[in-house]
Amino acid sequence: MTDSPLDRLLEQGVDFETIGKRLEHGISISEQEAAHRAPLDGFYELCDLTDEERQPPEFIVDNLLPVGLTFLSGAPKIRKSFLALQLAAAVATGSDFLGRKTNAMSRISTLKVQNLAFPLVLNG
């Protein structure tokens, strides 16, 4: 008796709900079997990510600067440092930046690294 791809997936521990979600996303049972690997801790499958509810990003400066780590880079001598200082002052005081609202007064940290000839290591 020959096992079908569905039987083999079930034997590998893949449940019907997961197989169904993958089918809804256009992944055939044969493709699922070929791509099946044991899940890694802390990783998601594509079908799980597409089912999650997505929240719009939170902005520090409306539709310009999202919450998180940001890098400001560009050609030399175009006043990036002054732009960064203006941004930091606006966020720290809760004032507008380039005509856009800042969402709240926040504590800020800046790190200026120019012409660094050695690796920079920051410890929490």
The string of pLDDT tens digits covering residues 21-35 is: 888 877 777 776 666
pLDDT, position 124: 43
Hey, what's the torsion of the CAs at 43, 47, 52, 57, to 10 degrees? 70
CB within 8 Å of 8: residues ≥ 6 apart: 33
pLDDT, position 54: 67
Neighbours of 17 (CB within 10 A): 8
pTM above 0.85, yes or no: no
d(CA 91, CA 108): 7
Sites in the chain below the pLDDT cut of 50: 123-124
pLDDT, position 100: 94
Measured distance between the N- and C-terminal CA atoms of the chain, rounded to whole angstroms:
60
Residues 68, 59: contact at Cβ < 8 Å? Answer: no
pLDDT, position 52: 57
